[in-house]
Amino acid sequence: MEIKVYHQILDWNEDVSGQVKETLKKHHTILINIMGSPGAGKTSLLKELIQALRNKYSLGVIEGDITTSIDAKTMADLGIPSVELNTDGACHIEAMSIQKILPEFDLDQIDVLFVENIGNLVCPAEFDIGETMRMTILSIPEGDDKVVKYPLMFTETDCLIINKADVLPYFDFDLDRVQKDYQGVNPGAPAFVVSAKDKSGIDALSNYLKEKIDALL
């Protein structure tokens, strides 16, 4: 299948995220911004969430990548409308690019549009891309000090997903510490411990998302 590729636009326009929000609202589409380090499991979890949600909602995906179409192809292979946003090396996505890509989707037919942001724990959190909600993924091999080291990524989000629970026995990763640190920077926000590999915790996460989506749609 041929993958449509867009290149990132970097003209600064602070009104654009507001315009994206307006467009999405008009079409009753929710945009979910998925953030986390390279390799945290963004694509793997998105695949699981698509399977869990696709019977109830119509879905679409924008795959941010600095060069390749690998993740966009994964989504297209699942039969989900999918467009790649190629940032040509840039380390985050901006709203201008989302605005340009939206016409690729028949938004009246899409309830939830996922955006897999560029793998990076720093600047994606600084840019409002017009999203309705954000999810931050941290995986166990990355270490349990990341919430305190990269606070913005954990403050400016709606929920934390701690992925790769299946490898917890092999790492000195203090789950309680991470949950506590997260509550410290983002009080009351939910955290989910999951594994995209053995599927543990995926039901709880998808039930939370269904509740959120139903309340927002």
Ligand X SMILES: Nc1nc2c(ncn2[C@@H]2O[C@H](COP(=O)(O)OP(=O)(O)O)[C@@H](O)[C@H]2O)c(=O)[nH]1
User: Which residues sit at the interface with ligand X, rule CB under 6 A?
Assistant: 36, 38-44, 119, 163-164, 166-167, 195-197
Q: Which helix (H) or strand (E) holds 42?
A: helix 42-53
d(C-alpha 179, C-alpha 162), whole Å = 9
**Residue 92 interacting with Zn ion (CB under 5 A):** yes
Pinpoint the alpha helices (H) of 80-201.
95-101, 146-149, 151-155, 175-185
The least distance separating Zn ion from the CB of residue 90, rounded to whole angstroms, comes to 6
The least distance separating ligand X from the CB of residue 169, rounded to whole angstroms, comes to 11
29 binds, among Mg ion, ligand X, Zn ion, none (CB under 5 to 8 A by kind): none
The least distance separating ligand X from the CB of residue 105, rounded to whole angstroms, comes to 21
Site string for Mg ion, 28-47 (x = CB under 5 A): --------------xx----
CA dihedral 145, 187, 28, 59 (to 10 degrees): 30
The least distance separating ligand X from the CB of residue 188, rounded to whole angstroms, comes to 26
Q: How many helices (H) and strands (E) does the chain have?
A: 8, 8
